[in-house]
Structure 1
């Protein structure tokens, strides 16, 4: 059959999760750090600086200067006075996602951020999950934290912080429940998307939906395991696929200069430090590991005298703990990769975009692409004024 206008292709990510927005653009690197203590010191240095030095330390941009008047960040308790007049207390430190598998901390203050994406903060909550579509060649990932990367397209799972209004094209859940004669939730749709899309080599913008209820159930179960790993939901209790655990064989007692790997010993090397066992499938994600490591050494390349140049002089124990968690997570994801690829390749036949049009699901109504009006809190406007949104 001839494909006319893509009607015989699978649905696109933006058709299933229609409301999306770009990730946060900070405008200045010093407001993000892998270590919360570094952010505390940077804030103290900014506030204590003489007035004639504070502007240079702040690193003003077209969007933000010390005199910018902006409303408060939704859900965060910060001053809305101009930074040049009244910095106020230290802003909250909020966990964010800087790379597909890298978490950091952010000084959550609207006055510090060029494009904070308030609509994302309004919808953020304990039930929220985000499907992140990264620039090529990185595949999509799932995060429990807001992403700090304006190149990322963010598809929240829910339109409100209470998790009661899914960010799904209207009619999709009803259609799938009828097709599979089984309960289907927003969470199971995200799990399916993670199973077929969140792996190397996946079609970036296509989400094939199976006609088979058995295939759907298999994919949802697989996707839930993928999401647990992407969101680090299993914490420090992870084991390697063969049941072993990664241990610190030799502590990292100072700031390491480089990251390396000994394949024969299955050992990750950080200066004098040694972590083992680290299986080869983890080191296959060498770029991810090196980017993670560079983010914790990034202050070394920052210009002297800037806030971004302020960093830890010693490697913190918590960084080693997070690295063990990351290496184990990457090994577990490598274990799931064959099943993910097989599901995407062999799980058909699929519902096409033409099928979804016939079911009156597509095209996406314009209202579904806009953020919801969240009216459950007062938000402080510039200079202490209040605005009800």
Structure 2
């Protein structure tokens, strides 16, 4: 619907962070795995196969085959020769966000990816954060989540916080910071905007794409502080967290073989993985059962893959780090559940609000087309197909 000067609706995420792109489309599930050792073995199997078998193992799509000639990923030194001719050395393994609250590893090679989203790679850095607007109608912990890793899901709309890797150009509508500083008569940092968005949008009951901006400076400050906590939890910024009541989750019985199922004993506050037992695990964490079951399925999916495929290669023993990551995830879910009532109250009681009409009157909206396009980042190596050229 076209925007009008009298639009009294809240701003959207895209109004405030104009540059957005879809998540990476891998096109083949085997390039992403929870365990780096699995990816190393899959690559070895692919690279050492003869040309005919390699083509079959690759799982071609219309967008990518072993004969595709593509450029390298920005900032990554990988082979750009056709995979059918010269596989080259193993590509780098990079940490990615595979699901809303699940991190995985990926073979960072553009030849393996249907849509690599090079503009995201150009702006990637340790300072970068991504607001991820989840697909409508999907079972997710919140309509908006936050990641520190590149997201691998083409259904997700990705709003990077920075337009460049040095973090000096925030992905904000021009004039927004000036508007907020005048409205609140206080300093407003670029990082405060995504923190506010996380506070009001990153919980299960939030509207999918509406960001009410308060007229009250006190409400804004409260929301920014709350949102920073939410962002830290979504990005697993502080390992070793305790449950809301101060307890820690421990391994009561080790997971010493590949578990077949995931279950919860509410009476004992215990998460059950085959013979393994983790406790205490808060009931509020198990309430996010779809998130936990997806996490578990991603680490056991190879058992259901067709024999002889790369996807069928997986670990035969449950790694200790998986148990550690599961404890971290369940603790994070419990802490997020504790924050959710404050997030709901903030959105319900924090008004009155600025509207899109107010932002238009202030000249913040509509954002210019230049703000909706990626920045020109030319300081990262980008090798062309089959080594044709490089940009420095």
TM tier relative to shorter chain: over 0.9
Contact 1:32 1:105 (8 Å CA) reproduced: yes
1:336 aligns with 2:339: yes
Q: How far apart in 2 are the matches of 1:246 and 1:156?
A: 33
| Residues 255-294 of structure 1, C-alpha deviations (whole Å, 9 max, x = no match) | 0000000000000000000000001111100110001000
Q: Which residue of 2 aligns with 1:25?
A: 25
CA distance in 1, matches of 2:320, 2:292: 17
CA distance in 1, matches of 2:349, 2:279: 36
**How does the TM-score come out when normalised to structure 1?**
0.97
| Aligned match for 1:213, one of 191, 211, 217 | 217
Tell which deviates more after alignment, 216-225 or 137-146.
Answer: 137-146
* 1:36-115 → structure 2 map (5 Å cutoff): 36-115=36-115
- Displacement of 1:66 in angstroms is 1.0
Q: How far apart are residue 201 of structure 1 and its match?
A: 1.2
Give the Cα separation in 2 of the matches to 1:214 and 1:51. Answer: 64
Kindly indicate whether the alpha-carbon contact (under 8 Å) linking 2:34 and 2:105 is maintained by their aligned counterparts in 1: yes
State the shift of 1:5 in Å: 7.8
Q: How many residues align?
A: 386
Offset, 1:123: 0.6
1:238 aligns to 2:241 (yes or no): yes
Q: Secondary structure at the match of 1:135?
A: coil
Structure 1 residue 183: Cα displacement: 1.3
TM-score (norm 2): 0.97
Distance 1:387 1:185 in 2: 36
Give the unaligned 5+ runs of structure 2. none
Please state if 1:150 is matched with 2:154.
Answer: yes
Of 85-94 and 132-141, deviating more is: 132-141
In structure 2, relative to structure 1, the CA distance for the partners of 1:373 and 1:278 (3 Å cut) is same
Q: 1:244 to 1:362 in 2, by over 3 A?
A: same
1:131 aligned counterpart, secondary structure: strand
Match of 2:202 in 1: 198
Question: Could you list the runs of 5+ residues in structure 1 that have no partner in the other structure?
Answer: none
Kindly indicate whether residue 307 of structure 2 is the aligned counterpart of residue 279 of structure 1. Answer: no
Matching residue of 1:165:
169
CA displacement at 1:344 relative to structure 2: 0.4
How far the C-alpha of 1:316 sits from its partner, in A, is 0.5
Deviation digits for residues 175-220 of structure 1 (CA, Å, limit 9, x no counterpart): 1011111111121100000000000010111100111100000000
4+ long deviations beyond 4 Å: 3-6
Cα distance, 1:377 vs structure 2 = 2.3
Contact 2:173 2:371 in 1 (8 A): yes
Contact 1:378 1:386 in 2 (8 A): no
- Verify the 8 A CA contact 1:238 1:328 in the aligned structure 2: yes
Deviating more after overlay: 90-99 vs 59-68: 59-68
Which one of 239, 254, 258 corresponds to residue 255 of structure 1?
258
How big is the alpha-carbon RMSD for the aligned residues of Structure 1 and Structure 2? 1.2
Q: Secondary structure at the match of 1:186?
A: coil
